[in-house]
Amino acid sequence: MTGGRELVMVSNRLPVDRVVASDGSTSWRTSPGGLVTAVAPIVEQLGCLWVGWVGAADEQLEPFEIGSMRLAPVELSEDDIELYYEGFSNGTLWPLYHDVIARPDFHRVWWDRYRRVNQRFAERVAEQAARGAIVWVHDYQLQLVPAMLRELRPDLTIAFFLHIPFPPSRLFAQLPWRKSVVEGLLGADVIGFQQVTDAVAFRMTAERFTRVPALGNTIVVPGTADHPSRTVLAQEFPISIDAAAFAEVAARPEIQQRAREIRAELGNPKTVMLGVDRLDYTKGIRHRLKAFDELLGDGEIDPADIVFVQVASPSRERVDAYRQLRDEVELTVGRINGEHGSIGHAPLVYLHRGHTRDEMVALYLAADVLLVTPLRDGMNLVAKEYVACRADEQGVLVLSEFAGAADELRDALLVNPHDIEGLKAAIVRAAHMPREEQRRRMRSLRRTVYDNDVAHWATGYLGAVRAAAESQRPSQTG
């Protein structure tokens, strides 16, 4: 798929985080988030060099190998984590790119550190990558790397993929360093986005702030005295999951047994409803809890009939907006159970921790309804995972129209999470949906997820990267 060239992945986090236990022993754990879920199965097959951070401060580690991957750690200090990762990446870009749900903060020291850390990543790749390699840079934390890397290593083919939304031009315009970010991205040969709207927004933004015109999906970057003119493909490539791998886990008898146990542990209610998210304010967890609370309060659902399990994996815990969210969610969970629970029965189960893939799949099998209600989400892979696991063609997906996945999963119950009445109606409808309607919808959803799995995505995206490499630098392909 990479045409015999070496593949180099570059992301803020390596696919594994280094965990240091209280006794000082260390181990590796899969990193959180959709990036790794989507990309890991591709690179396990292709093999790659992966450049990224190990998830802890001041770790100086030599490159090491896991399976077919060679991992080259980039060191981040406490200050880098505070200014580049928690600051500019997650205090400025993340809220700005998610429709300013939280207020983005603009600080020059954060930006300065973002530039310096991006430069460090570019230098690490430049020193490690083989001649003519394909370098695939991921996500909003590393938007300056493509141009920095092109400067250092013009022999490389550079691809970039944005896993989160790209904001409309009028919001992006707030960023004091908007031109530099666009120029950073334009260092790539191919820029992939989750949705058509993201790709369109980027092309318009590039034209507005750097005056480079787009012809369809292609942006023409004019030449300078030192560099010839070049083209950049900026197009949508909606990401997906390894559907067959999820289905394989879901088919295992012990996982199905575990799903039955989970239901039994919950008291075998008529309806098990599930939410699975990183604990992030973009995910609409507060809206979901409000709807559930009101339905219990109005008597529209009986707490004896339903249990709502909210799995929330810890995320970015030192960033203010995330701290506040956690406090608020945990307060609300306590209040709902206090008001509507009884001895021996809590209508809401809240689990603030990561789970293994096996346990996640058992939860998907145990759930009659999955609530995916982000206020904004690049894609949302949890929605696709649930569908991939439901070979029984049962279960109802309630899906926000503001998740990228809603472009494809049209047979879900689509909701506007801001419309609490609409959300409540969808929950009631999902809880009472006849089996035949569940089957019809789930069958269609499954077809979509299987036809557009991660292999399909990788073929399209890497195919475009290779084509760009061949057409732009034919003399280096031999």
* Site of interaction with ligand F6P (CB under 6 A): 12-13, 31-35, 139, 163-164, 315-316
Q: Taking the complex as a whole, how short is the minimal distance between the CB of residue 33 and ligand F6P, in angstroms? A: 2
Q: Which of 163, 277, 287, 293 is catalytic?
A: 163
Give me the residue whose beta carbon is nearest to ligand F6P.
33
Residue 311 found at the interface with ligand ADP (CB under 6 A): yes
Residue 385 found at the interface with ligand ADP (CB under 6 A): yes
Residue 411 contact partner, candidates ligand F6P, ligand ADP, none, CB within 5 to 8 A by sort of partner: none
Kindly tell me which of 212 and 370 has the beta carbon lying closer to ligand ADP: 370
What's the 3-state SS for the chain? CCCCCCEEEEEEECCEEEEECCCCCEEEEECCCHHHHHHHHHHHHHCEEEEEECCCCCCCCCCEEECCEEEEECCCCHHHHHHHHHHHHHHHHHHHHCCCCCCCCCCHHHHHHHHHHHHHHHHHHHHHCCCCCEEEEECHHHCCHHHHHHHHCCCCEEEEECCCCCCCHHHHCCCCCHHHHHHHHCCCCEEEECCHHHHHHHHHHHHHHHCCCEECCEEEECCCCCCCCEEEEEEECCCCCCHHHHHHHHHCHHHHHHHHHHHHHCCCCCEEEEEEEECCHHHCHHHHHHHHHHHHHHCCCCCCCEEEEEEEECCCCCCHHHHHHHHHHHHHHHHHHHHHCECCECCEEEECCCCCHHHHHHHHHHCCEEEECCCCECCCHHHHHHHHHCCCCCCEEEEECCEHHHHCCCCCEEECCCCHHHHHHHHHHHHCCCHHHHHHHHHHHHHHHHHCCHHHHHHHHHHHHHHHHHHHCHHHCC
Residue 13 contact partner, candidates ligand F6P, ligand ADP, none, CB within 5 to 8 A by sort of partner: ligand F6P
Residue 458 contact partner, candidates ligand ADP, ligand F6P, none, CB within 5 to 8 A by sort of partner: none
Residue 276 contact partner, candidates ligand ADP, ligand F6P, none, CB within 5 to 8 A by sort of partner: ligand ADP
Q: Which of 242, 377, 411, 453 is catalytic?
A: 377
**Whether 352 is catalytic:** no
Binding ligand ADP (rule: CB under 6 A), the pick from 2, 11, 31, 37 is 37
Binding ligand ADP (rule: CB under 6 A), the pick from 150, 278, 340, 466 is 278
Kindly tell me which of 157 and 310 has the beta carbon lying closer to ligand ADP: 310
Only one of the segments 136-144, 299-307, 354-362, 444-452 lies at the binding site for ligand ADP (rule: CB under 6 A); that segment is 354-362
Residue 411 found at the interface with ligand ADP (CB under 6 A): no
Only one of the segments 89-97, 153-161, 380-388, 446-454 lies at the binding site for ligand ADP (rule: CB under 6 A); that segment is 380-388
**Whether 377 is catalytic:** yes
Residue 360 contact partner, candidates ligand F6P, ligand ADP, none, CB within 5 to 8 A by sort of partner: ligand ADP
Q: Taking the complex as a whole, how short is the minimal distance between the CB of residue 194 and ligand ADP, in angstroms? A: 10
Binding ligand ADP (rule: CB under 6 A), the pick from 208, 355, 456, 473 is 355
Catalytic residues: 163, 377
- Contacts to ligand ADP by CB under 6 A: 32-34, 37, 276, 278, 311, 313, 354-355, 360, 379-382, 385
